[in-house]
Structure 1
């Protein structure tokens, strides 16, 4: 093909954002996942209001969500009137380049609010300063009109937007996700009041409240809460396995960690070793740790516009490294705490010693299992790997996923229809072992679990996780549901941070296919089946899919491609994890039988 001057194009700022939204807000989504774009739009607006609070202006932020319309009102200083249009519609315009106005803010590149503007069918922003208001209306980033005049209102900014359904499709807001976002803001900004449709969210104890309200397991000692200038830490240990971290930079939840989280993990080990004067293994110290760490730095460098991973190594203006800053703080604050709280120190020591004892007890089995997994990985018939993995330096690395399937027929269909670049398949032989109540020894003794652990690369921690999404893919029948429970139990028992960090999903596959000679509809619910019948007519052919193996590879491509439906497995404080596992996966067979009988529902068969 010819390549000439005519092929070189320059896009307006709003057109570029609308053509490449992923560069600015990650994925679009329909609101069914907390990292979908519509929530990033809210976050981008809130970041500016929270930055005002962090600079000492405006103690309340009001958020109103009415249908698809979102309004955010803060009571900060208000955007300078003469610059309101530029702030909302001119790229790389903002006050945060000058750290005198915003020393430790989240938004630094002058992009966020413009992305909201460009991706909204309706965007209205107004600023009030000293009883004078300027208000501007936009549509898809283009200015429509403006008004200004004197008002009897408090200083601050009001932003109202309607995410464009041309881009986001048939979306809706999940208030649970919005509430979680607001709670995280309040945990990091003690005293800030955020009201969602009139309901207030506020935290008095910061990260301590975060641990107490969001972690779904018991702590073996009261959480340690430490605060210093520009740093706050809350930590404890649970009774299970793995490591769980909530890390934040300047109020931004860095879900993928970064230099500050790495430094925190290193600092904990260093301080504990020095306090007890014993060279404990790092894994024994961090086993089942649950911690939250928040730091405030000037001019943070994130690895993407969505700011989920910190890349900064230095803390301007002094040039102190993040690592040194965190280690120095914990060396003094945590050491002092343990000296002043000997009961906690004793419980922590016992926990570390128990982890050490268990690790040594299985070291022989562990060594053999590792050798087996290493050999098996060369000719692992259970794993059909993909080319790209989480952490690779490739723009599609975050798309990496692994489907855990039951049996050869299901894995065969997925394998033939998958994207070999980003989608791997791991095949189970049948129903895996129920691991509830067992020790980690079973992970190494059981061939399937050992190979699965090796495939995911999560034996020691989540840092080496090879896939962003671990997808349980089973039949939509009783046996399939049982396998789901067994796998979720396995991960909850030994790798709970895989779930806490949002990597475990359930694949939703269609229950029915409704078609006539002109069109085909795949239906995931009875309601969708009925709607499809109305479109195709009463004489349409209806197929009920009983298992994944019955779906042809050509059809399967529809369900694991762009239109894939995934349900994330979640853990919250409201979930009594131990009680649930004990009831559903324990040895109380008669209690479960009575529960099934009492809750049995009989439905009419579909004609």
Structure 2
């Protein structure tokens, strides 16, 4: 018989604002993470503070924002109007307090609900806000949301505006590290969406004059563009379109009220539909949507009154209306693209001809592949029931889009022993393992036909569910888990080549990682410390008393399943695979995987020497 649990007034408790945020941070900032992913919590904290400064610029106050990140400390300074001095404490520590509720002050703002800076405050071990206006200033300091100090100056020579300083709380964001590449990408998007705004980050200046046209110019090299960037602007809408000669997939950058909607939404769906509809009608041909959109690289930004997002982190638009007297989001976008893109193609016949040739080429390639695709799909379907390569998990990305805190991961491993260790120690709900048989094929310079002809690539593509687009990707994190020796490095390079060649958007959207595994285990009778570098090993030796035992791990296969669970669990360390902003994909692949060059040999020898020095040092 089950004993009844007592349920009385004593079981009911009310949390104050900061307690609730600290107990349930995911409700406010999405996942926590350690900074290895672009949507980790520490970047959301930066964004929440920045959004307020951006809104000042949008309202015509302050053309420059300065950001500094040194170690764990973040400083954001704007030259806007400054927070009203009597409300400095309330604005950062009282829920449902903010200027965004007054639609006259902020018409189409980014920060919407007066929660953002409160979340930053509550989740920071140190938080300081300072506002200067009309020759006076007020400041307040907090620790974990608790007010510790206040100051008011009747006279100040400081320029008007707001300065926020914070340090994310290490008890919540464990082992975190800011990666400047992710911050820089966020800041670039802000300047593309706000031409005329200058953002200075650690001394580097970001500025844009041509908005979304600059976004595409910076992300795709001129020689890779099929034709010059089509740039269309209207009231509350801006669009940029081109095609990438060396890319198979579709790529969209979508924004609402200055917010990067990384998961798309109603506006992105309407935009994709509008492109197909317009091009079909322009050429008078019923082309397949996939042939029209293959290799497209594009961006769309719209402004909506009181937008509805599907989460607090605002990564997917749910609104169907533009607001006010305007039509639906879909109608507004389809009408705009139909009118403006049609006009552009009529005026630019050379671009229209190149576009049509590209569509016909995509159609031919699709038909050429149709037979082999059918065979490959049947083969993948047959082996999926008893696929020895894939040890799947129970939950996938498509199942958990509404559960933002749940990460799903696919480890790509090489060799039975490493695969066995990860398989035995993984979380069967959210972590899957794909085992490679030796070194994968070098796919550099090969057509997509090889993805279907090569069984390993075909099964990997099927496991990820990315054949047509990454919209249905089954795992949020794709983690290459190989030894840190010469063979392991080569396998990493071959896998990265495969993804760059056929699915570069997986890398661009931050889904591909390298698993860090410890090089050393240092332990005494009381404690065990796993070390990922020579420096960490030395720190562990100094920390442990007596003469600790030191073990060097030469490969993943040497690490037992009991130990492996510590490296792929809560404290997992991942290195994101990122694209260099100054190098095109074609150029990158040619350097690493093309005909051997003395430059590449020199690069590999220099870098490998460093890796091996780290591994062999005891």
Give the TM-score normalised by structure 2: 0.92
Alignment of 1:141-152 (within 5 A): 141-148=145-152, 149-152=154-157
C-alpha displacement of 1:582: 1.8
* Whole-Å separation in 1 of the counterparts to 2:607 and 2:413: 29
- Check whether the contact 1:122–1:140 (CA below 8 A) recurs between aligned residues: yes
| Alignment partners' CA distance in 2, 1:57 and 1:79 | 12
RMSD: 2.4
Structure 1 position 246, deviation (Å): 1.6
Within 1, Cα distance between the matches of 2:597 and 2:199?
A: 46
**Whole-Å separation in 1 of the counterparts to 2:52 and 2:617:** 53
- Measured after TM superposition, the shift of residue 385 of structure 1 is 1.4
| Counterpart in the other structure of 1:179 | 184
Which of 391, 416, 423 is matched with 2:431 structurally? 423
Shift of 1:543: 2.5
Q: Which residue pairs with 1:438 in the alignment? A: 446
2:294 is the counterpart of 1:287: yes
| Alignment correspondent of 1:4 | 7
Contact 2:31 2:404 in 1 (8 A): no
1:78 touches 1:156 (CA, 8 Å); kept in 2? yes
Could you list the runs of 5+ residues in structure 2 that have no partner in the other structure? none
Look up the match of 1:103. 107
Contact 2:68 2:201 in 1 (8 A): yes
**TM-fit CA distance, 1:297:** 0.9
SS in structure 2 opposite 1:92?
coil
Following TM superposition, by how much is the alpha carbon of 1:190 offset from its aligned partner in structure 2, in angstroms?
0.2
Q: Does 1:80 align with 2:98?
A: no
What residue number does 1:527 align with? 535
Which residue is 2:124 aligned to? 120
Instruction: Note closer, same or farther for the CA distance 1:117–1:323 as it changes in structure 2 (3 Å cut).
Output: same
1:316-338 deviation per Cα after TM superposition (whole angstroms, max 9, x unaligned): 12362222221111111111111
Residue 234 (1) aligns with residue 240 (2)? yes
Aligned length: 607
- Which digits, 9 at most, give the CA deviation of each residue in 1:150-194, with x for residues without a partner? 445544322222333333345443333332222211110000122
Q: In the alignment, which of 445, 457, 463 is matched to residue 471 of structure 2? A: 463
Give 3-state SS (helix, strand or coil) of 1:260's partner: helix
TM-fit CA distance, 1:61: 1.9
Task: Confirm whether residue 408 of structure 1 aligns to residue 413 of structure 2.
Answer: no
* Residues 220 and 584 in structure 2, CA contact (< 8 A), matched pair in contact too: no
Task: Tell me the secondary structure at the aligned position of residue 249 of structure 2.
Answer: coil
Supply the distance in 1 between the matched residues of 2:604 and 2:575 (Cα, whole angstroms): 24
| 2: CA distance, partners of 1:416 / 1:286 | 42
Structure 2 Cα separation of the partners of residues 554 and 345 of structure 1: 60
Partner of 1:60: 64
Alpha-carbon distance change, 169 to 453 in structure 1, aligned in 2, over 3 angstroms: closer
Alpha-carbon shift at residue 369 of structure 1 (Å): 1.0
> 2:220 & 2:360 partners in 1: Cα distance?
24
Partner Cα distance (2:529, 2:133) in 1: 55
Pairwise CA distance, 1:399? 0.5
- Equivalent of residue 269 in structure 2, options 257, 262, 265: 262
Q: Which shifted more, 354-363 or 196-205?
A: 196-205
State the distance in 1 between where 2:161 and 2:207 align: 20
Equivalences for 1:563-578 in 2 at 5 Å?
Answer: 563-578=571-586
Aligned to 2:100, the other structure's residue is in SS state: coil
Structure 1 distance, partners of 2:531, 2:414, is: 22
Q: Which residue of 1 aligns with 2:513?
A: 505
Report Cα offsets for 1:96-155 as digits up to 9, x if no partner. Answer: 233222111111111001111112233222333433433333222222343332445544
Q: CA deviation at 1:407?
A: 2.6
Distance in 1 between residues matched to 2:203 and 2:597, nearest whole Å: 46
Query: For each residue in 1:535-555, what CA deviation from the matched residue of structure 2 results, as whole angstroms up to 9, or x when unmatched?
Result: 346843333222222211111
Q: Is 1:244 the equivalent of 2:251?
A: yes
- Distance in 2 (alpha carbons) for counterparts of 1:75 and 1:232: 27
Cα pair 1:215 1:573 within 8 Å, conserved? no
1:276-301 superposed Cα distances (whole Å, 9 cap, x missing partner) = 11111111111111111111111112
Q: 1:296 to 1:450 in 2, by over 3 A?
A: same
Match of 2:163 in 1: 158
In the alignment, does 2:216 pair up with 1:215?
A: no
Offset at residue 349 of structure 1 (A): 1.5
Structure 1 stretches lacking a partner, 5+ long: none
Name the CA distance, whole Å, in 1 between partners of 2:602 and 2:157.
65
Measure the CA separation in 1 of the matches of 2:440 and 2:13.
55
- Pair 69,182 (structure 1): closer, same or farther in 2 beyond 3 Å: same
| Aligned mates of 1:593, 1:151 — CA distance in 2 | 60
Counterparts of 2:607 and 2:515 in 1: how far apart (Å)? 25
Shift of 1:497: 1.0
1:349 to 351, 356, 372: 356
Match in the other structure for 1:333:
340
User: Does 2:198 match 1:193?
Assistant: yes
Q: Is the contact made by 2:524 and 2:546 (CA closer than 8 Å) also made in structure 1?
A: no
Deviation at 1:342, TM superposition (A): 1.3
SS of the residue aligned with 2:224? coil
**Is the 1:74–1:157 contact (alpha carbons within 8 Å) kept by the matching residues of 2?**
yes
**Kept after mapping to 2: 8 A contact 1:303/1:310:** yes
Summarize the Cα distance change of 1:260–1:31 in structure 2 as closer, same or farther, 3 Å threshold.
same
With the length of structure 1 as denominator, give the TM-score of the two structures.
Answer: 0.94
Question: Alignment partner of 1:315: what SS?
Answer: coil
Cα separation, partners in 2 of 1:134 and 1:584, compared to 1, 3 Å: closer
Determine the C-alpha separation between the residues in 2 that align with 1:541 and 1:160: 43
Q: How far apart are the structure 1 equivalents of 2:157 and 2:196?
A: 26
Displacement of 1:491 in angstroms is 0.9
Is the 2:521–2:551 Cα contact (8 Å) retained in structure 1?
A: yes
CA distance in 2, matches of 1:127, 1:597: 53
